[in-house]
Amino acid sequence: EIRTHLTDELMTSLTPTAFIELHYSEVQGAKKRIADRQTNHQANAQLENVKSKAKELKQEIDGVDTSSSSDAQTLKTLETERDQLLLELDRVNKAIAETQTRLNDFPIAIQEKKKELAASINQVCRQHRQVNDILGSDAEDLQLIADVDQIRLRAVEAIEKVL
């Protein structure tokens, strides 16, 4: 029906567009497959490169393992023992220093605590003087406020009725 209303020139112009629209999804699928293949090719190349490097490293490790001797193992054992002894010596030296510091700090700490105690006692005395007895309770005061508010509301209603 639409073709009868279109001119030949317009039909000639629209035909390539219709062809492109018809094959658009096929073209997009082909482009995606090409991109996926390129990605796979790159991933395979990287995989082969990593495998090659891993084989080289394995060969190097095997070479080092075969070339090591009992002297190298003895050296490692002695170095490990030395490191452990140094760590233990460091731990003991730190414990000695901490204990000595605590012993030296006891008189100062006691003096500071005495000053803090005196300050706390003074503060308690000052605050005790500031505490006043207040008659009634919060509930009574809230009830009074509510009662006055009700009176105010009734007065406003009366004024509104008069106006």
Sign of CA pseudo-dihedral 73, 79, 80, 82: positive
The alpha-helical segments, DSSP class H, found in the chain are 8-67, 70-130, 138-162
Residue type, 28: Q
The whole model's pTM is what? 0.30
d(CA 91, CA 1): 97
Q: Which two tokens stand for residue 2?
A: 């639409």
Average pLDDT of the chain, as a whole number: 89
Q: Which two tokens stand for residue 119?
A: 């300050």
Model pLDDT for residues 53-111, shown as the tens digit of each residue? 999 999 888 877 777 766 788 899 999 999 999 999 999 999 999 999 999 998 998 99
